[in-house]
């Protein structure tokens, strides 16, 4: 039985995916570019580098290697997080408390930066539930590569077969499968356009995790 749970963060623990798209839309609008969601959705669960690749592939616009756009994005996001409320997923705090009571050890394994992971989990009062908060910026390859999950599991002193991943994105579920871990998809309606077929099963709302993690 798995006793280690690796949670993605954006779209799973905090409901920030709509915010990310809004901010990236603003960044590209400042460059005179209309960022269509059909292009953007492929980077959900990954990172800004993947978004630049998608913009090149689908729109023929090359911002790869240009630090200005990611810098502007993080500037906007940092300003928002300092002054705005972090959108929450209903039932997260109560569900994490119950999973901890059942003896699960938990970690965050996210494509977000370490600073952002710590800020979000601290401000939503869920940081104490996690033994490890781990960013993909510390590994070579982002999701859908398995690197972030394998590295987080190593820091939890757990084998892949002992871990279950909770993910809301196509990239994340594929990464969990590549890592050899069981995956539960969180069918967040605010993370649209995601194929969760790589997950063993999907749940919604968040509290339904308690039904599948006995």
Query: Could you confirm whether 125 is annotated as catalytic?
Result: no
Q: Which of 10, 34, 66, 147 is catalytic?
A: 10
Closest CA to 42 of 210, 211, 193: 193
182-186 vs 163-167, strand pairing mode? parallel
Kindly give, in sequence order, each residue whose CB lies less than 8 Å from that of residue 57, ignoring residues fewer than 6 positions away: none
Distances (CA, A) of 40 to 30, 83, 183, 197: 16, 25, 24, 20
With beta carbons less than 8 A apart as the criterion, state whether 82 and 195 touch. Answer: no
Q: Which two tokens stand for residue 136?
A: 């993909």
Query: Could you confirm whether 147 is annotated as catalytic?
Result: no
Catalytic residue set: 8, 10
């Amino acid at each position: 039985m798995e006793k280690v749970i690796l949670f993605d963060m954006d779209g799973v623990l905090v409901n920030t995916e709509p915010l990310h798209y809004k901010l990236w839309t603003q960044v590209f609008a400042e460059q005179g570019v209309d960022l269509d969601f059909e292009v953007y959705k492929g980077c959900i669960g990954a990172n800004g580098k993947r978004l630049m690749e998608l913009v090149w592939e689908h729109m023929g616009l090359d911002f790869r290697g240009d630090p200005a756009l990611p810098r502007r994005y993080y500037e906007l996001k940092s300003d928002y997080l300092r002054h705005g409320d972090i959108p929450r997923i209903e039932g997260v705090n109560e569900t994490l408390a119950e999973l901890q009571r059942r003896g699960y050890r938990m970690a965050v394994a996210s494509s977000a930066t370490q600073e952002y992971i710590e800020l979000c989990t601290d401000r939503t009062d869920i940081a104490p539930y996690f033994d490890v908060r781990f960013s993909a910026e510390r590994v070579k390859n982002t999701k859908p590569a398995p690197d972030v999950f394998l590295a987080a599991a190593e820091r939890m002193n757990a084998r892949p077969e002992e871990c279950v991943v909770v993910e809301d994105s196509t990239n994340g579920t594929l990464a969990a499968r590549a890592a050899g871990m069981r995956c539960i998809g969180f069918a967040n309606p605010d993370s649209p356009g995601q194929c969760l077929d790589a997950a063993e099963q999907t749940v919604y709302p968040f509290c339904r995790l308690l039904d599948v993690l006995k």
